[in-house]
Chains A and B, each alone.
Chain A
Amino acid sequence: MAKAKQIGANKKRNWFLRTWDNFVFKLEEFGKRFVDGSIGTKLSHFVFGAGNFYHKQYIKGALFLLLQVGIILFMVLCPSVNGEYYGYKALVNLALGGSKGGEFDKETGEQLPPSDDKLRLLFGLVTIAVIVIFFIIWLANIKSSYKADLDVKQGKKPTTFIEDLKELLDTRFHLLMLTPTLVAALVFTLLPTIFMICMAFTTYNDFDMTAENTTLFYWNGVNNFVYMFTGQSQLGKEISARFFPVLGWTFLWAIFATFTCYFGGIILAILINKKGLMGKKIFRTAFVLTIAIPQFISLLAVRNLFSSYGPVNTLLQNMGLISEPIGFFGLNDNDNEILAKVMVIVINMWLGIPYTMLMTSGILMNIPTDLYEAGQIDGASKTKMFWKITLPYVIFVTTPYLIGSFIGNINSFNTIFLLTGGGPTYSGYKAGGTDLLVTWLYKLTIENGEYNTGAVIGIMTFIITATITLITYTRSKAYNEEDTFQ
């Protein structure tokens, strides 16, 4: 879907048609299985694993049955954690939204702890995920039974459980290898992401939670988006006033941060790898230190080095260059914003250049020598060979890296958060002068509890980065011609 959107209307139609055809085909297959299948397969549509039992695949059948019973019990019994329910009750809670806290237990008369709206939303989503899994297992169970039917028809024996397991090591090896990652990613990456997206459509933030006559959370449709763009609420007004300036700076930052480090690194690598230069290792070690040392340590070191009474300000004062300490990182409200912006880019070079330097060094060593030999035969000078061979080669092979690091810089949290904290700050939840979208998001959500508004901005940020990535990525050689290198 996302890809189709990018590539243009023509292909989009094709994609929809393709998907539709696919769907119809799947549906036909489903019908065929029901009609053609053995009694076991037919029964499988209602009782998981019935077909497997029919074909004497007892272990498999039992596993399917167990899953069916387990999930149904989960849905009906509604296990609760910390006073919030899973199962059908979670679906009801999810649809209706809020609840009031602190009801009284009917039996003991004791006041119950308030229910947690975040859990409510989360458990609802988990329950939906379980239902989706239920359908996937349902289909798998029918297919498995039907496959056994076909095997019998062809005069083969249905596969045993051991054979199925063995298949996992060979033809279905990818299943074995990918399942742990997929499961982990679904639970700990996809589900939380959907959770976040949902928040954008609720009234959820920490302040309203305790406001008078307000239930914990309820669905708010696209109002949060509307507010933000029309500036209907004061918060929306402030957010919309700052959104585009912050977006602009985020891009400016990403461009500068990417290209300064990239070309700086290439130049440094060429300097270090110069023929005849001694002590290469020592120099390289000096630069690589910034990669090796945990980033929060080196960034905090720099921040304090440049603080009002730190060595740098004192040195400049002693030299008579400045009369009062300079706020390099915009940590005070009235500090110079431009200076703070320049400083974060410069410090980012300090962090990023060694990385590109290492990478380029590796590439420089791997440039095919025949390129240079050809150049020598043509009588090209060293400088010319550098401009015509070395540089284009390096740039050519590192283009994917360039794209990746651009996207990485858009979401670069540590540098800004640890150096400037987004400052010079504008009041409250308004973004500061050096705030990127991602640090602003942090302020809104973690520090100010404006989760719904944060989620709106998160979604907008995502749409922008995803668009750029998909366009550049799907058109890059690395993606389209990935097999040609092998």
Chain B
Amino acid sequence: MSTTAPKKKYRSQKAAKRASLAASYVVLTILSLIWIIPILWIVLTAFRNDLNESGEIIGTVTSNFFPNRPGFQNFADLFTFKMNGVEFVFLRWMGNTLLVSVVCCILSTFLILSVAYCISKLRFKMRKGFMKFSMILGLFPGFMSMIAIYYLLKSIGLSGNPDNPALSLVGLMIAYSAGAGMGFQVAKGFFDVIPNSLVESAKLDGCTNFKIFWKIILPLSKPIIIYTALMAFTGPWMDFIFAKVIIGSTNTAYWTVSVGLYSMLYSDKGNPDYFTKFAAGCVMVGIPITALFMFLQRYYVEGVTAGAVKG
């Protein structure tokens, strides 16, 4: 447009670029601080062993962000401690949750992938009907059906069973996994992107539908398998309402870790003094889940993207 030296223009462009980069750094740094602060606070609280005038540890929320007297007492308490007389078997809760989440992970992934494959790659009567059915069913608020699920499980002895409270963990696995197949949309989005020609040429070669699924589609679907499994695995670690109903408020030994943590603060068994212990528990739960998540982040992004674009 103009005849001024292109060098100057280039230089000013470069300066502008630098300025905008610098601005980005500033904005991003501030934002990431905002994002991290609450989490950092919980972690710091977990290590807080501040004392009151009488020399007792203050367990409630306090006004200081950083602990005055850091230490590991809260973590030690998690393993030895009794809450209002009820044994708080934190490790056992972790174990219960792990058991439930591993089983759920396997069952749900199996259900979700099989449904998603059918809907995406097979054409049959009632296919669209099934899609709409699943969508409509998903719109009912979940906890309204909680009571019915409790009684259904109870009538087969898998919940509210005074003789075998451990069976309610099996009930919980079933309750978590049973509805999983209805959440096939993300995986379907992923399968949709796999070219149909692949399926068709395999059919011409005489492959059965089962073989196509097992030998061709699944090996191509590592990201979505991992995504689905990750979601199914983390679910039981986060739910604190459903699990309490299914397992029952007196069966503390069979609680999952989120029921336990939530109850430490907000239930009749809880106490405001347990906040630092609660924080320690959160750190114990948060570390493995976050590590797993970070480790598998790539697949998660692929899954989210696939689900969003085609879901």
Once bound together, how far apart are the Cα atoms of A379 and B85, in whole Å?
74
- Is B83's CB within 8 Å of the partner chain A? no
Q: Are B305 and A362 in contact (CB under 8 A)?
A: yes
Indicate with 1 or 0, residue by residue over A344-362, a CB within 8 angstroms of chain B CB atoms.
Answer: 0000001000110011011
- Is B79's CB within 8 Å of the partner chain A? no
Identify which of B28, B37, B152 contacts A271 (C-beta below 8 A).
B28
- Is A371's CB within 8 Å of the partner chain B? no
Once bound together, how far apart are the Cα atoms of A193 and B7, in whole Å?
70
Q: Are B304 and A362 in contact (CB under 8 A)?
A: yes
Indicate with 1 or 0, residue by residue over A160-198, a CB within 8 angstroms of chain B CB atoms.
Answer: 000000000111011011101110110111111101100
Interface positions of A from 277 to 312, Cβ below 8 Å from B: 277, 283, 285-298, 300-302, 304-305, 307, 309-311
Q: Are B182 and A189 in contact (CB under 8 A)?
A: yes
Q: Are B111 and A180 in contact (CB under 8 A)?
A: yes
- Is B72's CB within 8 Å of the partner chain A? no
- Is B24's CB within 8 Å of the partner chain A? yes
How near does chain B come to A479, taking the closest CB pair, in angstroms?
8
Q: Are A293 and B290 in contact (CB under 8 A)?
A: yes
Q: Would you mind naming 13 contact pairs between A and B with Cβ atoms under 8 Å apart?
A: A81-B154, A118-B151, A188-B149, A196-B145, A271-B27, A289-B39, A296-B240, A298-B42, A358-B304, A397-B308, A438-B141, A485-B310, A486-B196
For B98, the chain A residues whose CB sits under 8 A away are none
**Residues in A lying within 8 Å of B, measured CB to CB:** 2-3, 81-82, 118-119, 122-123, 126, 169-171, 173-174, 176-178, 180-182, 184-185, 187-193, 195-196, 268, 271-272, 274, 276-277, 283, 285-298, 300-302, 304-305, 307, 309-311, 313-314, 350, 354-355, 358-359, 361-363, 366, 397-398, 400-401, 404, 407, 411, 413, 438, 441-442, 445-446, 451, 454-455, 458, 461-462, 465-466, 469-470, 473, 478, 482, 485-486
Indicate with 1 or 0, residue by residue over B23-44, a CB within 8 angstroms of chain A CB atoms.
Answer: 0110110011011111101100
For B175, the chain A residues whose CB sits under 8 A away are 188
**Residues in B lying within 8 Å of A, measured CB to CB:** 17, 20-21, 24-25, 27-28, 31-32, 34-39, 41-42, 61-65, 111, 114-115, 117-118, 122, 124, 130, 132, 134-137, 139-141, 143-149, 151-152, 154-155, 174-175, 177-182, 185, 192-193, 195-196, 208-211, 213, 234, 237-238, 240, 258, 261-262, 265, 275, 278-279, 282, 285-286, 289-290, 293-294, 297, 300-302, 304-305, 307-311
Q: Are B310 and A293 in contact (CB under 8 A)?
A: no
Q: Are B309 and A397 in contact (CB under 8 A)?
A: yes
How near does chain B come to A460, taking the closest CB pair, in angstroms?
11
How near does chain A come to B111, taking the closest CB pair, in angstroms?
5
Once bound together, how far apart are the Cα atoms of A360 and B278, in whole Å?
34
For A169, the chain B residues whose CB sits under 8 A away are 208-211
Once bound together, how far apart are the Cα atoms of A401 and B306, in whole Å?
10
For A298, the chain B residues whose CB sits under 8 A away are 38-39, 42
Once bound together, how far apart are the Cα atoms of A193 and B142, in whole Å?
9
Closest to A445 in B: B144
Once bound together, how far apart are the Cα atoms of A68 and B20, in whole Å?
75
How near does chain A come to B23, taking the closest CB pair, in angstroms?
9
Q: Are B140 and A401 in contact (CB under 8 A)?
A: no
Q: Are A193 and B308 in contact (CB under 8 A)?
A: no
Closest to A2 in B: B136
How near does chain B come to A280, taking the closest CB pair, in angstroms?
9
Closest to A287 in B: B35
Identify which of B17, B34, B310 contacts A276 (C-beta below 8 A).
B17
Identify which of A195, A297, A300 contacts B145 (C-beta below 8 A).
A195
Most chain B CB within a 10 A radius of its CB, from A177, A304, A401: A177
Q: Are A361 and B301 in contact (CB under 8 A)?
A: yes
Closest to B121 in A: A486
For A291, the chain B residues whose CB sits under 8 A away are 293
Identify which of A3, A123, A366 contacts B132 (C-beta below 8 A).
A3
Identify which of A188, A189, A400, A469 contacts B311 (C-beta below 8 A).
A400
Q: Are A473 and B135 in contact (CB under 8 A)?
A: yes
For B32, the chain A residues whose CB sits under 8 A away are 283, 286-287
Q: Are B39 and A358 in contact (CB under 8 A)?
A: no
For A363, the chain B residues whose CB sits under 8 A away are 305, 308-309
Closest to A177 in B: B114
For B65, the chain A residues whose CB sits under 8 A away are 311
How near does chain B come to A95, taking the closest CB pair, in angstroms?
19
Q: Are A297 and B42 in contact (CB under 8 A)?
A: yes
Once bound together, how far apart are the Cα atoms of A195 and B300, in whole Å?
36
Q: Which 9 A-B pairs have the closest CB atoms?
A: A181-B181, A192-B145, A362-B305, A192-B148, A314-B63, A173-B209, A188-B178, A286-B32, A401-B308
Once bound together, how far apart are the Cα atoms of A403 and B35, in whole Å?
26
For B41, the chain A residues whose CB sits under 8 A away are 301, 305, 311
Closest to B283 in A: A297
Q: Are A193 and B305 in contact (CB under 8 A)?
A: no
Q: Are A398 and B308 in contact (CB under 8 A)?
A: yes
Closest to A198 in B: B148
Q: A196-B145, A446-B143 are in contact. Are A290 and B35 (CB under 8 A)?
A: yes
How near does chain A come to B205, taking the closest CB pair, in angstroms?
13
For A188, the chain B residues whose CB sits under 8 A away are 145, 149, 152, 174-175, 178-179
Identify which of A184, A288, A478 contacts B178 (C-beta below 8 A).
A184
For B27, the chain A residues whose CB sits under 8 A away are 271
How near does chain A come to B60, taking the closest CB pair, in angstroms?
8
